[in-house]
Amino acid sequence: MRAALPRPACPSGPAWPRRWSGVVRKRLQHRELPSNDCAVGELFAVWGADRRVRSVSDTMETAALAEAKLLLDGVRSSAGRLGATLDPLTDLQAREPSALSGWSRGHLITHLARSADVYRWLLTLARTGSEPGPRADATTLERALHEGAGRSGAELVADLCTSVERLLDEAATMPTERWSTLVTALAGWRHPAWFTLRRCRRELETHHADLDLGYTSADWPADYVTWALDSTLTALAARRFPVARIDAPDLGRTWTLSGGGPTVTGPGHALLAWLSGRAHHPGCTPTFPCRPRRPGPSRRYLAGTDPPATAVGPAQHRPRKEWLRPS
């Protein structure tokens, strides 16, 4: 039988009450206090520990809220830039090919709108704890993609605007404690609700460049490029990607992937574009190894399959324009 730990020495008599603060006395005066000073001291210690735990919890919640606001600001900023690009979209431009082989700009804008709906569905689930209606499966999303791609430019942009507005509104109402709630992507992998905003921003920035309307990877914000490279290279390192090291001098960052293979150096945005399967960018050395195959319509449509995916848009004749303003 384990021996009992010795009780710590207790301050004697009347010294304890005189040393308590007024706040402590108020907290204790409504409790049934023990008759000896040592027990009262233990009660004070327990209350102090509880106070410290609650203080740490409050600090964590405050940090989580600040992080969520920062992510949401990033999504709004990306949406604003996309809105400025799509604002003058014509019907002819909507039917022209995008930079994704086999997809018109209409396909791409429709994909963004339906992805926004999927992400809003996930955030609502995290906030309420219950499914906000049936979830669209891959077949439904693919059908919606092809049926919606032929709409006019104004219809495409208005649809995207509405979907993104709803997504942003849902994110703005999320209680702090619900951001850590796990949700499940359509492909089956799980992540906390706040990561939905990461996926959303990646979708906005990547497909903004894919629209081939003058916005390129060189226009991607440095904070987005840094995070996306961190995320992408961590995943590729786990898959033994055949590159030893990635250097981005403009970001002041280096990533070590494996013990063998070349070292690839270049601007951060060019490296990210290559790693995401987009076109080769000059300024990176040496010649790239075989880059990953970029997504196209030949792949099965899975909104949310990859750790980052989602929505956003702009438009003529849209109900609200606040989110379209670049920040």
One-letter-per-residue 3-state SS of 7-40: CCCCCCCCHHHHHCCHHHHHHHCCCCCCCCHHHH
* Mean pLDDT score, 254-279: 88
pLDDT tens track for 271-294: 999 998 886 655 566 555 444 444
Confidence band for 82, pLDDT divided at 50, 70 and 90: very high
State both tokens at 52. Answer: 């410290």
> Is the distance from CB of 223 to CB of 209 less than 8 angstroms?
no
pLDDT tens track for 214-249: 999 999 999 999 999 999 999 988 888 888 999 999
Residue 123 inside a domain? The answer is yes
pLDDT tens track for 3-37: 544 444 444 334 434 444 444 444 444 444 444 44
Q: Which residues does 319 contact at the CB level (< 8 Å), separation at least 6?
A: 158, 161, 162, 165
Q: Which residues does 70 contact at the CB level (< 8 Å), separation at least 6?
A: none
State how many domains the chain has.
Answer: 1
Instruction: Sort 266 into a burial class: Cβ within 10 Å, 0-12 / 13-18 / 19+.
Output: buried
* Cα distance between residue 72 and residue 179, in whole Å: 12
Classify 300 as helix, strand or coil: coil
Residue 320: CB atoms within 10 A of its CB come to 11
Residue 44 inside a domain? The answer is no
Residue 86 inside a domain? The answer is yes
Classify 130 as helix, strand or coil: coil
Average pLDDT, the chain: 76
* Mean pLDDT score, 107-122: 96
Q: Kindly tell me if the per-residue pLDDT of 91 is higher than 90.
A: yes
pLDDT tens track for 162-209: 999 999 999 999 999 999 999 999 888 999 999 999 999 999 999 999
pTM of the entire structure?
0.71
State both tokens at 117. Answer: 């709906």
Q: What is the CATH number of the domain that holds 274?
A: 1.20.120.450
Residue 157 inside a domain? The answer is yes
Would you mind telling me the total number of residues written for the chain in this entry? 327
- What range defines the domain where residue 153 resides? 68-320
Beta-bridge partners for 97: 104
* Cα distance between residue 125 and residue 135, in whole Å: 11
Residue 35 inside a domain? The answer is no
Selection from 123, 128, 227 nearest residue 184 by Cα: 123
Residue 43 inside a domain? The answer is no
* Cα distance between residue 196 and residue 248, in whole Å: 26
> Is the distance from CB of 222 to CB of 286 less than 8 angstroms?
no
Q: Kindly tell me if the per-residue pLDDT of 42 is higher than 90.
A: no
Residue 120 inside a domain? The answer is yes
Q: How far is CA 157 from the centre of its chain?
A: 23
Instruction: Sort 309 into a burial class: Cβ within 10 Å, 0-12 / 13-18 / 19+.
Output: buried
pLDDT at 318: 30
Residue 327 inside a domain? The answer is no
pLDDT at 28: 43
* Helical segments of the chain, H only: 15-19, 22-28, 37-86, 91-95, 105-128, 138-148, 153-172, 195-210, 222-238, 268-275
Residue the block writes with tokens 């995401």: 276
Q: How far is CA 68 from the centre of its chain?
A: 8
